[in-house]
Amino acid sequence: MSMRLEGKTALVTGATSNIGRAIAEAFADEGAHVVVSGRSADRGKEVVDGIRARGGSADFVRADLDGSVDASQLLAEEATRVLGGRIDVLVNNAGIYPGDTTAATDEKTFDQVYAVNVKAPFFLTAAVAPAMVHTGGGVIVKLGSWIARLGVPVGALYSSTKGAMETLTRAWAAEFGPQGVRVNAISPGVVLPPAPGEAHPGEAMMKGTPAGRVGTPDAIANAAAYLASDESAFVHGTVLDVDGGRTAAAVIAG
Protein backbone atom coordinates (compact mmCIF):
# COMPACT_ATOMS: atom_id res chain seq x y z
CA MET A 1 0.00 0.00 0.00
CA SER A 2 1.53 3.31 -1.07
CA MET A 3 -0.50 5.61 1.23
CA ARG A 4 -0.46 8.35 -1.42
CA LEU A 5 -3.32 10.16 0.33
CA GLU A 6 -2.16 9.82 3.90
CA GLY A 7 -3.37 12.72 6.02
CA LYS A 8 -5.83 13.88 3.33
CA THR A 9 -9.59 14.20 3.61
CA ALA A 10 -12.00 13.37 0.80
CA LEU A 11 -15.67 13.65 -0.07
CA VAL A 12 -16.99 11.19 -2.67
CA THR A 13 -20.56 11.62 -3.89
CA GLY A 14 -22.57 8.64 -5.10
CA ALA A 15 -20.17 6.47 -3.09
CA THR A 16 -22.52 3.68 -2.01
CA SER A 17 -22.16 1.56 -5.17
CA ASN A 18 -20.16 0.80 -8.30
CA ILE A 19 -17.57 3.44 -9.31
CA GLY A 20 -18.17 5.76 -6.37
CA ARG A 21 -17.78 2.95 -3.86
CA ALA A 22 -14.57 1.77 -5.51
CA ILE A 23 -13.15 5.30 -5.38
CA ALA A 24 -14.04 5.72 -1.70
CA GLU A 25 -12.44 2.38 -0.89
CA ALA A 26 -9.31 3.16 -2.90
CA PHE A 27 -8.91 6.56 -1.25
CA ALA A 28 -9.23 5.01 2.20
CA ASP A 29 -6.71 2.32 1.28
CA GLU A 30 -4.34 5.14 0.29
CA GLY A 31 -4.68 6.71 3.74
CA ALA A 32 -7.42 9.32 3.28
CA HIS A 33 -10.25 9.97 5.71
CA VAL A 34 -13.25 9.58 3.41
CA VAL A 35 -16.81 10.81 3.63
CA VAL A 36 -18.98 8.31 1.80
CA SER A 37 -22.04 10.15 0.54
CA GLY A 38 -25.25 8.85 -1.01
CA ARG A 39 -28.98 8.52 -0.50
CA SER A 40 -29.08 5.10 1.18
CA ALA A 41 -27.95 4.96 4.80
CA ASP A 42 -27.92 1.16 4.72
CA ARG A 43 -25.62 0.96 1.70
CA GLY A 44 -23.51 3.77 3.10
CA LYS A 45 -23.04 1.90 6.36
CA GLU A 46 -22.00 -1.19 4.43
CA VAL A 47 -19.29 0.73 2.58
CA VAL A 48 -18.05 2.47 5.72
CA ASP A 49 -18.01 -0.76 7.71
CA GLY A 50 -15.98 -2.45 4.97
CA ILE A 51 -13.44 0.37 4.88
CA ARG A 52 -13.07 0.38 8.65
CA ALA A 53 -12.70 -3.41 8.72
CA ARG A 54 -9.63 -3.01 6.50
CA GLY A 55 -8.18 -0.40 8.84
CA GLY A 56 -9.30 2.65 6.87
CA SER A 57 -11.05 5.81 8.03
CA ALA A 58 -14.54 6.62 6.73
CA ASP A 59 -17.86 8.12 7.71
CA PHE A 60 -21.22 8.28 5.98
CA VAL A 61 -23.07 11.51 5.27
CA ARG A 62 -26.47 11.10 3.67
CA ALA A 63 -27.29 13.45 0.82
CA ASP A 64 -29.93 13.64 -1.87
CA LEU A 65 -28.20 15.81 -4.45
CA ASP A 66 -31.30 16.93 -6.31
CA GLY A 67 -29.71 20.00 -7.86
CA SER A 68 -30.87 22.48 -5.24
CA VAL A 69 -28.30 24.88 -3.86
CA ASP A 70 -29.38 23.98 -0.32
CA ALA A 71 -28.69 20.25 -0.81
CA SER A 72 -25.21 20.85 -2.18
CA GLN A 73 -24.31 23.41 0.47
CA LEU A 74 -25.64 21.21 3.27
CA LEU A 75 -23.48 18.29 2.12
CA ALA A 76 -20.42 20.53 1.88
CA GLU A 77 -21.00 21.84 5.40
CA GLU A 78 -21.67 18.45 6.99
CA ALA A 79 -18.76 16.73 5.22
CA THR A 80 -16.42 19.54 6.27
CA ARG A 81 -17.55 19.13 9.87
CA VAL A 82 -17.12 15.35 9.84
CA LEU A 83 -13.69 15.65 8.23
CA GLY A 84 -12.43 17.99 10.90
CA GLY A 85 -12.75 21.32 9.17
CA ARG A 86 -11.53 20.81 5.62
CA ILE A 87 -12.06 18.85 2.41
CA ASP A 88 -8.84 18.20 0.50
CA VAL A 89 -10.36 16.14 -2.32
CA LEU A 90 -13.83 16.30 -3.83
CA VAL A 91 -15.04 13.64 -6.25
CA ASN A 92 -18.22 14.57 -8.11
CA ASN A 93 -19.45 11.12 -9.05
CA ALA A 94 -23.19 11.03 -8.33
CA GLY A 95 -25.37 10.91 -11.42
CA ILE A 96 -28.37 9.29 -13.06
CA TYR A 97 -28.68 7.70 -16.49
CA PRO A 98 -32.02 7.40 -18.28
CA GLY A 99 -31.41 5.56 -21.54
CA ASP A 100 -34.37 6.95 -23.46
CA THR A 101 -34.29 8.29 -26.99
CA THR A 102 -34.73 12.01 -27.51
CA ALA A 103 -38.38 11.75 -28.57
CA ALA A 104 -39.21 9.61 -25.54
CA THR A 105 -37.70 12.08 -23.04
CA ASP A 106 -40.20 14.30 -21.25
CA GLU A 107 -39.53 17.67 -19.65
CA LYS A 108 -39.60 16.34 -16.11
CA THR A 109 -36.90 13.80 -16.90
CA PHE A 110 -34.83 16.41 -18.72
CA ASP A 111 -34.91 18.77 -15.75
CA GLN A 112 -34.18 15.97 -13.26
CA VAL A 113 -31.15 14.68 -15.15
CA TYR A 114 -29.64 18.13 -15.52
CA ALA A 115 -30.39 18.88 -11.86
CA VAL A 116 -28.58 15.77 -10.59
CA ASN A 117 -25.79 15.55 -13.17
CA VAL A 118 -24.92 19.23 -13.65
CA LYS A 119 -26.55 21.56 -11.12
CA ALA A 120 -25.70 19.47 -8.06
CA PRO A 121 -21.96 19.15 -8.78
CA PHE A 122 -21.87 22.77 -9.96
CA PHE A 123 -23.13 24.10 -6.64
CA LEU A 124 -21.19 21.55 -4.60
CA THR A 125 -18.01 22.71 -6.32
CA ALA A 126 -19.07 26.31 -5.73
CA ALA A 127 -19.33 25.52 -2.02
CA VAL A 128 -16.14 23.47 -1.68
CA ALA A 129 -13.57 25.08 -4.02
CA PRO A 130 -13.38 28.49 -2.26
CA ALA A 131 -12.92 26.70 1.07
CA MET A 132 -10.08 24.67 -0.48
CA VAL A 133 -8.45 27.91 -1.58
CA HIS A 134 -8.79 29.27 1.95
CA THR A 135 -7.14 26.18 3.50
CA GLY A 136 -4.24 26.10 1.07
CA GLY A 137 -5.44 24.12 -1.94
CA GLY A 138 -7.15 20.92 -2.96
CA VAL A 139 -8.20 18.60 -5.75
CA ILE A 140 -11.51 18.18 -7.56
CA VAL A 141 -12.15 15.11 -9.71
CA LYS A 142 -15.22 14.89 -11.89
CA LEU A 143 -16.72 11.88 -13.67
CA GLY A 144 -17.46 12.29 -17.35
CA SER A 145 -18.32 9.58 -19.88
CA TRP A 146 -17.05 8.24 -23.18
CA ILE A 147 -20.43 8.95 -24.79
CA ALA A 148 -19.83 12.67 -24.31
CA ARG A 149 -17.52 12.43 -27.33
CA LEU A 150 -18.63 9.32 -29.20
CA GLY A 151 -22.30 9.46 -30.07
CA VAL A 152 -24.64 6.53 -29.49
CA PRO A 153 -28.28 6.24 -30.64
CA VAL A 154 -29.76 6.47 -27.12
CA GLY A 155 -28.84 8.52 -24.08
CA ALA A 156 -28.46 11.92 -25.76
CA LEU A 157 -29.67 13.66 -22.61
CA TYR A 158 -27.17 11.91 -20.35
CA SER A 159 -24.28 12.38 -22.75
CA SER A 160 -24.99 16.11 -22.98
CA THR A 161 -24.74 16.43 -19.19
CA LYS A 162 -21.36 14.67 -19.25
CA GLY A 163 -20.24 17.00 -22.01
CA ALA A 164 -21.15 19.86 -19.69
CA MET A 165 -19.04 18.32 -16.93
CA GLU A 166 -16.02 18.07 -19.22
CA THR A 167 -16.43 21.72 -20.19
CA LEU A 168 -16.75 22.72 -16.54
CA THR A 169 -13.58 20.77 -15.77
CA ARG A 170 -11.57 22.96 -18.12
CA ALA A 171 -13.29 26.15 -17.01
CA TRP A 172 -12.75 25.39 -13.34
CA ALA A 173 -9.13 24.46 -13.93
CA ALA A 174 -8.66 27.96 -15.33
CA GLU A 175 -10.65 29.55 -12.51
CA PHE A 176 -9.32 27.67 -9.49
CA GLY A 177 -5.97 26.29 -10.65
CA PRO A 178 -4.06 29.55 -10.08
CA GLN A 179 -5.46 29.53 -6.53
CA GLY A 180 -4.10 26.08 -5.74
CA VAL A 181 -7.06 23.84 -6.60
CA ARG A 182 -6.47 21.30 -9.34
CA VAL A 183 -9.53 20.23 -11.35
CA ASN A 184 -9.55 17.19 -13.64
CA ALA A 185 -12.00 14.60 -14.89
CA ILE A 186 -12.13 10.90 -15.68
CA SER A 187 -14.04 9.59 -18.69
CA PRO A 188 -14.91 5.93 -18.08
CA GLY A 189 -15.86 3.45 -20.75
CA VAL A 190 -18.47 0.79 -20.03
CA VAL A 191 -17.78 -0.14 -16.41
CA LEU A 192 -19.55 -2.93 -14.55
CA PRO A 193 -18.95 -4.65 -11.22
CA PRO A 194 -17.50 -8.16 -11.65
CA ALA A 195 -20.29 -10.68 -12.30
CA PRO A 196 -18.81 -14.00 -13.51
CA GLY A 197 -21.06 -15.90 -15.87
CA GLU A 198 -23.51 -13.05 -16.37
CA ALA A 199 -23.87 -11.36 -19.76
CA HIS A 200 -24.65 -7.63 -19.95
CA PRO A 201 -25.84 -5.54 -22.92
CA GLY A 202 -23.03 -3.07 -22.27
CA GLU A 203 -20.46 -5.66 -23.30
CA ALA A 204 -21.40 -5.17 -26.96
CA MET A 205 -20.34 -1.52 -26.73
CA MET A 206 -16.76 -2.53 -25.95
CA LYS A 207 -16.35 -4.84 -28.91
CA GLY A 208 -13.81 -3.53 -31.41
CA THR A 209 -11.84 -1.69 -28.70
CA PRO A 210 -8.19 -2.38 -27.84
CA ALA A 211 -9.27 -3.77 -24.45
CA GLY A 212 -12.05 -5.84 -26.00
CA ARG A 213 -14.00 -6.00 -22.75
CA VAL A 214 -15.85 -3.93 -20.19
CA GLY A 215 -13.96 -2.31 -17.36
CA THR A 216 -14.34 -2.78 -13.63
CA PRO A 217 -14.83 -0.03 -11.02
CA ASP A 218 -11.32 -0.46 -9.63
CA ALA A 219 -9.85 0.78 -12.93
CA ILE A 220 -11.62 4.11 -12.45
CA ALA A 221 -10.70 4.16 -8.76
CA ASN A 222 -7.01 3.77 -9.58
CA ALA A 223 -7.21 6.72 -11.97
CA ALA A 224 -9.01 8.81 -9.34
CA ALA A 225 -6.36 8.00 -6.74
CA TYR A 226 -3.68 9.18 -9.17
CA LEU A 227 -5.47 12.45 -9.92
CA ALA A 228 -6.09 13.04 -6.21
CA SER A 229 -2.45 12.46 -5.26
CA ASP A 230 0.61 14.65 -5.53
CA GLU A 231 1.83 12.41 -8.36
CA SER A 232 -0.44 14.42 -10.67
CA ALA A 233 0.59 17.81 -9.32
CA PHE A 234 1.27 19.11 -12.86
CA VAL A 235 -2.06 17.89 -14.27
CA HIS A 236 -4.75 20.53 -14.70
CA GLY A 237 -7.95 20.64 -16.75
CA THR A 238 -7.54 17.25 -18.36
CA VAL A 239 -10.07 14.53 -19.09
CA LEU A 240 -8.39 11.19 -18.50
CA ASP A 241 -9.89 8.48 -20.71
CA VAL A 242 -10.16 5.19 -18.86
CA ASP A 243 -12.30 3.50 -21.45
CA GLY A 244 -10.39 0.56 -22.87
CA GLY A 245 -9.55 2.68 -25.90
CA ARG A 246 -13.20 3.17 -26.89
CA THR A 247 -12.80 6.80 -27.97
CA ALA A 248 -9.22 6.55 -29.22
CA ALA A 249 -8.89 3.50 -31.43
CA ALA A 250 -10.84 0.97 -33.43
CA VAL A 251 -9.62 -2.59 -33.74
CA ILE A 252 -10.50 -4.06 -37.12
CA ALA A 253 -10.68 -7.82 -37.08
CA GLY A 254 -9.11 -9.53 -40.10
> Which CATH number fits the domain that encloses residue 219?
3.40.50.720
CA distances from 93 to 2, 21, 248 (A): 24, 10, 23
CA dist 17 and 56 (Å) reads 18
Quote the number of domains for the chain: 1
Task: Write out pLDDT tens, residues 185-211.
Answer: 999 999 988 777 677 778 888 999 999
Residue 90: name the closest of 13, 21, 7 by CA: 13
pLDDT reading at 7 higher than 50: yes
CA dist 178 and 53 (Å) reads 39
Q: Are 217 and 193 in contact (CB under 8 A)?
A: yes
Label residue 1 by pLDDT band (50, 70, 90). Answer: low
Q: Are 30 and 51 in contact (CB under 8 A)?
A: no
Q: Is 32 among the domain residues?
A: yes
Task: Specify the pLDDT at position 254.
Answer: 46
Task: Specify the pLDDT at position 179.
Answer: 98
Provide the percentage of residues in the chain whose pLDDT is more than 90. Answer: 90
Task: Specify the pLDDT at position 253.
Answer: 58
Whether the CA torsion 64, 67, 69, 75 is positive or negative: it is positive
158 is catalytic: yes
Q: Is 4 among the domain residues?
A: no
Q: Is 253 among the domain residues?
A: no
Q: Is 248 among the domain residues?
A: no
Label residue 145 by pLDDT band (50, 70, 90). Answer: very high
Catalytic residue among 97, 114, 158, 226: 158
Task: Write out pLDDT tens, residues 61-118.
Answer: 999 999 999 999 999 999 999 999 999 999 999 999 988 899 999 999 999 999 999 9
Mean pLDDT score across all residues of the chain: 95
Task: Write out pLDDT tens, residues 211-236.
Answer: 999 999 999 999 999 999 999 999 99
CA dist 135 and 36 (Å) reads 22
pLDDT reading at 177 higher than 70: yes
* Domain membership of residue 174 as a residue range: 9-242
The continuous run of DSSP H or E covering 122 comes out as helix 120-134
Q: Is 119 among the domain residues?
A: yes
